[in-house]
């Protein structure tokens, strides 16, 4: 191999890496926010039907990707189903595969985080719901170990305990 051949091959590899990087960045943008197509890079409207499927990208790795309807090609899919995203309500068509189980349906990673954060805060809120032992009203404590609904009830509760001793 001559020196010019090696230089040409190096330039080709550099161009290939850049193309792979661009494809990966497009995929990350579509997967993180669901606002662009992971294949062609076109902006997706919130009302537009989005597709989610596992696609082989330029770097050879298969990843779950949000796509527009023109780029979606559900080859190898067992069946497809149109469902709303559990976090934002946007309608998406999920391509189901035999080996991939979908517990929840989301259009992007941001919706995944949003939904699970909401679930966690709801569980935390339910754990803090109590009935005040002094005034017998229900309240949501600002802390997990809150016993009374207000400082006044806390003082009354303290005096009642002190008197009982």
Each domain of the chain, given as residue ranges in start order, spans 3-117, 132-164
* pLDDT above 90 coverage of the chain, percent: 23
Give CA–CA dist 80/88, Å, rounded.
20
Indicate if the pLDDT at residue 79 is higher than 80: no
Indicate if the pLDDT at residue 148 is higher than 90: yes
Indicate if the pLDDT at residue 132 is higher than 60: yes
**pLDDT averaged over the chain?**
79
Tokens (6 digits) for 157:
């509760």
- The answer to whether 15 and 71 have CB atoms below 8 angstroms apart is no
Indicate if the pLDDT at residue 64 is higher than 50: yes
pLDDT tier, 154 (very low <50, low <70, confident <90, very high otherwise): very high
Instruction: Please give the angle made by the CA atoms of 46, 51 and 54, to the nearest 5 degrees.
Output: 140
Mean pLDDT across the stretch 21-37? 78
**pLDDT: is 67 or 73 the higher one?**
67
CA distances from 70 to 23, 48, 80, 113, 115 (A): 17, 12, 16, 28, 28
Task: Answer whether 0.75 is exceeded by the pTM.
Answer: no
Mean pLDDT across the stretch 58-71? 75
pLDDT tier, 101 (very low <50, low <70, confident <90, very high otherwise): low
Beta carbons within 8 Å of 4's beta carbon, 6+ residues apart: none
Beta carbons within 8 Å of 112's beta carbon, 6+ residues apart: 87, 104, 106
pLDDT tier, 139 (very low <50, low <70, confident <90, very high otherwise): very high
């Amino acid at each position: 191999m001559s020196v010019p051949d090696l230089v040409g091959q190096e330039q080709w590899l550099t161009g290939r890496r850049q193309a792979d990087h661009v494809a990966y960045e497009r995929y990350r943008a579509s997967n993180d926010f669901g606002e662009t197509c992971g294949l062609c890079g076109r902006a997706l409207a919130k009302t537009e039907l989005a597709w989610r499927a596992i696609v082989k990208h330029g770097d050879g790795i298969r990843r779950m990707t949000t796509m527009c309807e023109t780029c979606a090609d559900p080859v190898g899919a067992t069946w497809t189903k149109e469902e709303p995203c559990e976090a934002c309500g946007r309608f998406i068509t999920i391509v189901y595969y035999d080996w991939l189980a979908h517990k929840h349906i989301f259009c992007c990673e941001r919706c995944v985080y949003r939904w699970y954060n909401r679930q966690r805060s709801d569980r935390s809120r339910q754990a803090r719901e109590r009935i005040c032992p002094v005034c017998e009203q229900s309240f949501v404590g600002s802390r997990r170990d809150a016993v009374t609904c207000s400082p006044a009830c806390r003082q009354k509760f303290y005096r009642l305990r002190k008197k009982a001793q």
